[in-house]
Structure 1
Amino acid sequence: MGALSQLRTLYHLTLSPIRGETHQQRLDSFYGGQAEDYDEFRKRMLHGREALFDALPAPAGGAWVDIGAGTARNGELFGERLREFGSVTFLDLSRSLLKVADERIAREQWANARTLCADATEIDLPDGSADLVTFTYSLTMIPDWFAAIEQAHRLLRPGGVIGVVDFYVSRRYPADGLRRHSYFARNFWPFWFGNDNVHPSADHLPMLQRRFQTLQVDEHYGKLPWVPVVRAPYYRFIGRKPAA
């Protein structure tokens, strides 16, 4: 990624005003000028996606719904295993990003894949129709994230798997086995990311563990482009919807 492209993306991340009355309008205002450079810049700051998809199943003939899919780059992280699914739905509310996703689907000739422009809290897909649901750095951008998790739970069949990777902060007193962040980290990162309508929460991971059977939880820190020394906290969660 060239320096000019990086600077253009940084401008839209930090200085470009975000306009719009609805969440969709604000998303397209934010992403419209950086959609083409989205993947190259963010793969340097959105850590843990490769490890998540290495650990996720790709059941033959199954259905995968990627919520907040953006440009559909997650399809590439599955590699050839993506073609084993019966159906793949890349869902996002930003038309700017989905335009890039449609181009990727056509280029890669993913005959089983499609895009769906929809709100993550109001998904018009049948109950129990998915074998796998994923959120990769999208849950922190959904204002009503409670409803998004409930939608994921509704979409999954009993025994279906959910995979999430995202920024977060810990609770002041986290559950046993989970990492405890400093007072500075718990307050700094929501402020830092909040300027871009990204909202790391202390409650995402506990809510996921409440609604799904935990299969795997990892907590890490990752580098940020153009920001030396500091590392942002992120987690990976893999869970299963309990059998009815």
Structure 2
Amino acid sequence: MANVVNDLKTLWHLVARRASGSTHQERLESFYSGQANGYDDFRRRMLHSRQEMIQSVPVPQGGVWVDLGAGTGENAEHLGPRINDLSKMYLVDLSTSLLEQAQARVQARGWQNVVPVCHDATTFVPPEGSVDVVTFSYSLTMIPDWFRAMDHAYSLLKPGGSIGIVDFFVARKYPGDGHTPHGWSTRTFWPPWFGSDNVFLSPDHIPYLKNKFETVMLSERRGKIPYLPFVRAPHYVFIGKKRAE
């Protein structure tokens, strides 16, 4: 029963309650503050391939990992025992409500090397300066200057460092060889549907990533949306490396 109540509360925020505020941070907080407690359970059924993306990224011994747009920090759990191989993992987000959940998760798990940070993904720089891994898990579509965030991730990474991204997208009308074309209905329906919640799908994520990084793995997929049984939203998984300078 509690799960149903949380689902209804989350759906109300997704469908009926519009984000408000004059800054990106204020809009994020107004959107997530009322659904933070039920965030993980609902998103687990909506945000597909997150665990696979996290587990596909190599974990360097003693490395530094930055998860940009980390939300409640659930991605850290997907690392399993490998999290102990990191010297530090930073969970970066602008929503204080989601970060409270992340901090509670860190304390409950007893992680000494995981640090939630309230900061803009386009400007965050850890004390270490350069890092070994940067990830975006369904956060790039929520960053207004996503290309700036991607460029910033590139600047943070050491040569040979890894980037992992999973997110919603729509393909270009003519996506090119090797890519999955999306029909008119897909390209027309999903951007405004997600855009009402300030999630902005782009046909340019994948081309930009392929140009910026060496592609290790790219998969274009579709996944279920809770309570919409006959539709599948498109998403992609990208694992890449910063080329050696």
For the aligned pair, the TM-score class normalised by the smaller chain equals over 0.9
1:199 aligns with 2:205: no
Please name the residue that 2:77 is paired with: 76
SS of the aligned residue for 1:86 comes to strand
For 1:61 and 1:165, the matched residues in 2 are separated by: 24
For 1:101 and 1:107, the matched residues in 2 are separated by: 10
Indicate conservation of the 8 Å contact 2:18/2:197, yes or no: no
Indicate conservation of the 8 Å contact 2:217/2:239, yes or no: yes
Please name the residue that 1:231 is paired with: 232
Counterpart code for 2:11: L
Indicate conservation of the 8 Å contact 1:64/1:87, yes or no: yes
Please name the residue that 2:5 is paired with: 4
Please name the residue that 2:30 is paired with: 29
Query: Residue 128 of structure 1: CA displacement?
Result: 5.8
Query: Deviation above 4 Å: which 4+ runs of structure 1?
Result: none
For 2:156 and 2:98, the matched residues in 1 are separated by: 23
Identical-pair percentage: 50
For 1:194 and 1:170, the matched residues in 2 are separated by: 16
For 1:127 and 1:190, the matched residues in 2 are separated by: 37
For 1:13 and 1:238, the matched residues in 2 are separated by: 29
For 2:197 and 2:18, the matched residues in 1 are separated by: 10
For 1:175 and 1:237, the matched residues in 2 are separated by: 17
**How many residues are treated as equivalent by the alignment?**
244
Structure 1 unaligned regions, length at least 5: none
For 1:48 and 1:18, the matched residues in 2 are separated by: 26
Indicate conservation of the 8 Å contact 2:222/2:234, yes or no: yes
Please name the residue that 1:117 is paired with: 118
Counterpart code for 1:133: V
Please name the residue that 1:222 is paired with: 223
Query: Residue 175 of structure 1: CA displacement?
Result: 2.5
5 Å-filtered alignment, 1:83-162, equals: 83-125=84-126, 129-162=130-163
Query: Residue 125 of structure 1: CA displacement?
Result: 3.2
Structure 2 unaligned regions, length at least 5: none
Q: Give the TM-score taking structure 1 as reference length.
A: 0.98
Q: Deviations over 1:186-232 (max 9, x none)?
A: 11110110011101110011111110000000011100001111000
Query: Residue 37 of structure 1: CA displacement?
Result: 0.5
